[in-house]
Structure 1
Amino acid sequence: MDRIFEQMTSWLKDWIVDGLMSLLTGTFDSINAQVGSVAADVATSPADFTPGVFNLMKTVSNNAIMPIAGMILTFIACYELIQLVIAHNNLANFETWIFFKWIFKTYVAVMLITHCFDITMAIFDVAGHVISQSGNIIQNSTAVNASQLAQMRSTLEAMSIGELLPLFMEIGLLNIGIKIMSMMIFLVIYGRMIEIYLMISLAPLPFSTFGNREQSQIGQNYVKSLVALGFQGFLILICVAIYAVLIQNVSISSDIAGSLWSVLGYNVLLVFALFKTSTLSKRIFSAQ
């Protein structure tokens, strides 16, 4: 009878240990997969990230927004001509060269609005190049290696069933928390890209304001916002690099739950930092 009870206890313990190892492996794989894809995602241009959405935004912009931008450009060009004519003491010092100046400024404004998508994509291409080059330098891994997993298993096998059951529940809760953090990282990355798509869909409107010094502030702020969005990806990459260094310092000791709490804490810190990248990037580039 004792032998049967011992075998059942051993079987139950092995089952719990296998379940815990599966849970731990899934937990680490989830966060590692999400964090590991960040560098590739933020370096991808809007045209390549989701081509279908990008083409949709471009079509809508060309067909719905571009005509309105043309009307705004026409109004600003007329307003600029009036300003140039009356600028010299209400026509007292009238000079014909102002017409050539107006033609040149209008030509530049038309070229800008015509190639607004090319200019917008160039900004993100430059930012993507910077991110790609930085990603080649920053290559720290966030993965838990096989020796650490083996150490975890040895620690679990040394525990009794009474110790394993509460640990199972605690690790289950930690697993849920880490998966939530993984989802938050996903939201930051894809939320940034959706914001980029929304910005580029209205590109012709702010670009139509460059024909006048006063109104061009709208276009300048728009370009600053695009640059801020582009280089937000660089800040995201830096956050992930810092996280990778910190996570490597977490020692998988006999206190497995404590180690996982440390991992969860670093994940919370990472998510908080990722959410701050948008504000920080806009502050750096003075984007409103």
Structure 2
Amino acid sequence: MRELLSGMVESNLSTMFTAVNQQTSEIAAQVGQTPQGWNSSIFSMIRNISDSVVIPIAGIIITLILCYELISMLTERNNLHDVDTWMFFKYFVKMWIAVYLVSHTFDIAMAVFDIGQSVVNSSSGIIRGNTAIDISSLSMQMQAAMATMAIGELVTLALETLVVSWCLKILSVVITVIMYGRMIEIYLYTSLAPIPFATMSNREWGHVGTNYFRGLFALAFQAFLMMVCVAIYAALIGSIRVSSDIHSALFGTMAYTVILCFSLLKTGSLSKQIFGSH
């Protein structure tokens, strides 16, 4: 009976910590990819939709804005009585910039995510080596602790490890949903990029494009905040000692994983708050 219960505990621990190690290691791999690198087929589909559906709408918006700009420019100078050729030169420069921004929307957006990827890759070399839980060391500590337990304590421990193992599996699924949800949000956000980019040349409507640009930086640097969350989680997990209290160590591991999930969920709103996006 003792061998059966001990084997059950070790099996639950191995499954539990393997799932956690796999998910925390995948966070660095997922957030360190650009939209075109994460899934090229989805990226191509989003870009084709944007080019064929959204850019014509952006072209209409640019036309309306430029007509409004021309009328405002001519009427604000004493109703055409004080017209300077420099005004038209400035108008054509503004028109060229507006068209250039819309026609190169995806290149500009991907440049922002390339900056975010560079920051994540620079930090991952420091963080990635400390995210994994040492399963062999914990297994040895558990075996030494279980050798002094009675049958009843082993039964309780086996049930606890079973419950914690299932909870951590659910949390690993939640982490996966957060990672994939962020990438889907990026694809949805970039699919309409030409429309806010079309407003950036106008003084009254320029706040739409400026806020959108801030949102791009917020999404790009959210990956860095996720990496910091993983580093904090690794430091918390590293402080757990099974030899002192097995039960506290088990539920402490689950609590730290819950904190990791909560922190990952908060990174989106925190990044938008930092960059002033709303």
TM range (shorter): over 0.9
Opposite residue 149 of structure 1, the aligned amino acid is S
Match of 1:64 in 2: 53
Structure 1 position 133 matched with structure 2 position 122: yes
Match of 1:8 in 2: none
- The separation in 2 between residues aligned to 1:256 and 1:52, in whole angstroms, is 47
- The separation in 1 between residues aligned to 2:92 and 2:108, in whole angstroms, is 22
Match of 1:199 in 2: 189
Structure 1 position 85 matched with structure 2 position 74: yes
Deviation at 1:254, TM superposition (A): 5.4
Deviation at 1:33, TM superposition (A): 0.5
Alignment equivalent of 1:182, drawn from 157, 172, 185: 172
Deviation at 1:147, TM superposition (A): 2.5
Provide, for residues 173-227 of structure 1, a one-character-per-residue CA deviation record: whole Å limited to 9, x for no partner. 1112212221221122111111100001111111111221111111111000000
What secondary structure does 1:181 align onto? helix
Deviates more, 1:101-110 or 1:152-161: 152-161
Provide, for residues 96-118 of structure 1, a one-character-per-residue CA deviation record: whole Å limited to 9, x for no partner. 22111111100011011000000
Opposite residue 111 of structure 1, the aligned amino acid is Y
TM-score (norm 2): 0.96
What secondary structure does 2:201 align onto? coil
Opposite residue 68 of structure 1, the aligned amino acid is I
Alignment of 1:1-288 (within 5 A): 12-138=1-127, 139-253=129-243, 255-288=245-278
- The separation in 2 between residues aligned to 1:285 and 1:116, in whole angstroms, is 20
Q: Which runs of 4+ in 1 moved over 4 A?
A: none
Pairs aligned (count): 277
What secondary structure does 1:89 align onto? coil
- The separation in 1 between residues aligned to 2:244 and 2:155, in whole angstroms, is 16
Check conservation: 1:155, 1:254, Cα contact below 8 A. Answer: no
Opposite residue 246 of structure 1, the aligned amino acid is L
Check conservation: 2:131, 2:233, Cα contact below 8 A. Answer: no
- The separation in 2 between residues aligned to 1:137 and 1:147, in whole angstroms, is 22
TM-score (norm 1): 0.93
Provide, for residues 43-98 of structure 1, a one-character-per-residue CA deviation record: whole Å limited to 9, x for no partner. 10010111111111111111111111111111111111111111212223122221
Check conservation: 1:27, 1:178, Cα contact below 8 A. Answer: yes
**Structure 1 portions without partners, runs of 5+:** 1-11
Deviation at 1:145, TM superposition (A): 3.9
What secondary structure does 1:37 align onto? helix
Check conservation: 2:119, 2:224, Cα contact below 8 A. Answer: yes
**Structure 2 portions without partners, runs of 5+:** none
- The separation in 2 between residues aligned to 1:143 and 1:171, in whole angstroms, is 16
Provide, for residues 125-170 of structure 1, a one-character-per-residue CA deviation record: whole Å limited to 9, x for no partner. 0010011001112232332242221121232243232222222112
Check conservation: 1:80, 1:211, Cα contact below 8 A. Answer: no
Q: CA RMSD in A?
A: 1.3
- The separation in 2 between residues aligned to 1:253 and 1:150, in whole angstroms, is 10
Give the number of the structure whose alpha-carbon radius of gyration is greater: 1
Deviates more, 1:253-262 or 1:22-31: 253-262
